[in-house]
Every structure is written in C-alpha cells, then in structure tokens.
Amino acid sequence: MIESNDQKRLYYNALLDKNTEFDGVFFAGIKTTGVFCHPSCTARKPKFENCEFYQSAEEALLRGYRPCKICNPLSYPQELPDEVKLLVEAIENNPEKKWKDYDFKQLGLNSVSVRRKFKKVYGMTFVQYARSRRIGLAFKAIKRGSKVIDQQLNAGFDSASGFNDAFTKIMGNPSTKIKIKLLNANFIETPIGRMISISDDDFLYLLEFENRRGLETEIFKLRKKQNARLIYGATKISILTTTQIQQYFNQKLDQFTIPLCLDGSVFQKKVWNILINSKQGEHLTYKEIATELGDKNKSQAVGNANGANQIAIVVPCHRVINSNGEIGGYGGGIERKKYLLTLESSKKETP
C-alpha cells in the first residue's frame, strides 16, 4: 500500500482526472464500496480519505477489495478477453470457495491459451487470483469479527465459545469441547510484501508472507492444534515481532529474541534450532544439517522440516541452499529468498 502523502495526493489527482496514463501504474481501493479501480474509471469519484492506493492488483485483492465492474481494473493494457471475464465473474459469485484447477476445467476454462491470457492480464494464475481474493475476504472478516468479539467480551461474556471466526466458513470449526484459545492476527509491512503474524501475549505461532502458497492450510492446522479462534489485534509479542522485523530489514538487528511456539516433531525442532542458531550471511545446505544431526542421508527429511517451518525469517529457512550452490526453493517465493540472502550478506556486523 502506498503510504507517502505526496504520492497519495498525486494518485488521487490522477483518479479525479480519470488520467489514463496512470492505468496500470496504481490501483485505487475505495473503502466505501469495497471495490478497486483503474485511475481512469468513470464511476463517481470517492473522497480522498476513502481511498487506498496499491501498486499491484494482488495487493488490493489481499486487502479484501473486489475488482470494479465498470473499469475492469485488471484489464490493462488490453481489453479483458471474454473467457477471462467469465472466470472473474465465476469467482465473484463464489469468492469464498476454495477454487481448484479442476473447477476451472469444469467451466471449460482450462485451455493453455486461456491460462496464458489470464496470467498476462493479471500477472498471476487462476488459482493465485482466487486465493488472493479469498484470503483478502478472510482477513477483512477477521477485522470485523474482532469488533463483534470485543462487544461480546465487554458485554460480560467470559469466553468466546459462541464466536465463529472468519476462517470458520472456509475451514470449519475447532472442537468446542475444550477451552477455546484466542490468537491474534496482525500485519507487518516489509519491503518485499506484507506479512501476517499470529500470536498471543506469550508466543509467536506463525509469521508468513500473506500471499505464501499454503498459508490457509498452515492457519487451519494451527487453529486445530491450538484449538484456537483468530481475532485481529496486537499483543506484546506482535508488537515485539513488528519492531524486530523492521530492524531486521533496516539491517539493525543481529539476533531475534522473540519467544516462539515451535510445533513439530523432535527432528523438525532440531533442524529449526540449527537454523535459529545460524548467523546472518551464513549459508547452510540440507546435507550439512543432516550430517550435523548424525545422518548425512537425511537431506530429504531436513528439506521437509525446512518446508514445514511457519515462522519465516525468524526461523531462517531461507539460509538453506542446495549442495551444488543453487538457491533452492522457498515457500514465500524465490525472489524473496534472493532478497533476504542479499540483505543479510550485505549487513555489517554491529560492534
């Protein structure tokens, strides 16, 4: 999201002028209607304070905005092909659905050419688009749900047992037989995208990029394991996490000191601890970690443990690369892994 006031004013003026030159440069989220638009949209223009500006459509979707029907904000620079329009409509008719490749096939939208067109127009795949839209809605509902639960708590309800959080509809409810825990979701802006933290006043449970593949499954498992509902809010731990993540990106942090709730097998925890004890600028390989744990043939298991990490950056799984020097995979995307490794290798030791 664009934060600088000068920039916001510039973009707002472009929006008022319906300036086509800015189409594709930014997207305007309209808080009052919940849609996002091209600057050149012909719909009535909102007040400045009701606008948010985004550099990508994905960001606007993740913030819970839906594409405007008047200006088709994702169509720049060409007209939206009919198949693509059909697809966006199908998703809008059922935005909370967990769309799979199979569903798109059912709509007759699985040809290579439609896929290619979609990717070109939207800068993302069908499945990514549907996921961004769905997660955006869930996050928005978490914020709304938190107000409801605040009211319940203020009204004297001592537990949140009657409360369904935003993920209930998508993912089902945790068991209601034992005490339900409340975990707080919060967001952190970073130079490589927004992150979501999930914490209570004691521990950090999850820290991930909001568009990470598999995020919903991670949240589902966490809610189930902890028998928790998610609300939106800050905790001592989320505040500490925000501070340290910002210091990290400004190259002002040597070591994270956030209390973590690590949930995994004994083996996974051993792997994570090796990562936590590694230094910025250091690279590890799967094989090295396996050897350190006493069995050099366990590279694959180390890889799996690495992939199961859900506390990005703080448990630095991005430091693990392939034995042949190749960068290897990353849940948050290879570009982010490269960024983090470059950031760390250029950091000067603070005396």
Nearest to 286 by CA among 331, 312, 317: 317
Lookup: tokens for 295: 């069995």
Among residues 68 and 91, whose Cβ is nearest to Zn ion?
68
Q: Quote the tokens at residue 156.
A: 């004297």
Give me 74's structure tokens.
């994702």
Structure tokens at 151: 């009211």
Assess contact for 14 and 6: CB atoms under 8 A. no
Q: How far is the CB of 9 from Zn ion (least distance, A)?
A: 20
Q: Which two tokens stand for residue 2?
A: 């664009």
Q: Six-digit token pair at 340?
A: 């983090």
Q: Interacting stretch for Zn ion, rule CB under 5 A, among 42-50, 77-85, 134-142, 283-291?
A: 42-50
40 or 304: CB nearest Zn ion: 40
Cβ(308)–Cβ(301) below 8 Å: no
User: Distance (Å, rounded) from C-alpha 21 to C-alpha 10?
Assistant: 13
Residues 152-211 that bind Zn ion (CB under 5 A): none
Q: Which is nearer to Zn ion, 15 or 230 (CB)?
A: 15
- Is residue 15 near Zn ion by the rule CB under 5 A? no
Closest distance to Zn ion from the beta carbon of 34 (Å): 12
* Position among 61, 62, 71, 290 found at the interface with Zn ion (CB under 5 A): 71
Candidate list 28, 60, 68, 196; residue touching Zn ion; CB under 5 A: 68
Q: How many residues bind Zn ion (CB under 5 A)?
A: 6
* Paired strand residues for 195: 188, 209
Decide if 68 is catalytic: no
Dihedral angle sign, alpha carbons of residues 231, 232, 236, 239:
positive
37 binds Zn ion (CB under 5 A): yes
Residue 88 binds Zn ion, judged by CB under 5 A: no
Count the Cβ atoms, other than its own, within 10 Å of residue 101.
12
Contact 257, 244 (CB under 8 A): yes
Q: Which two tokens stand for residue 49?
A: 């304070």
Q: How far is the CB of 33 from Zn ion (least distance, A)?
A: 9
CB nearer to Zn ion: pick between 11 and 286: 11
Shortest Å, Cβ 70 to Zn ion: 4
Give the active site residue among 37, 51, 68, 317: 317
Under the binding rule (CB under 5 A), the answer on residue 70 touching Zn ion is yes
Asked if 163 contacts 149 with a C-beta cutoff of 8 angstroms, the reply is: yes
Among 15-23, 38-46, 148-156, 293-301, which window interacts with Zn ion (CB under 5 A)? 38-46
Query: Using CB under 5 A, which of the segments 43-51, 167-175, 199-207, 301-309 binds Zn ion?
Result: 43-51
Sites of contact with Zn ion (CB under 5 A): 37, 41, 43, 68, 70-71
Catalytic residues: 317
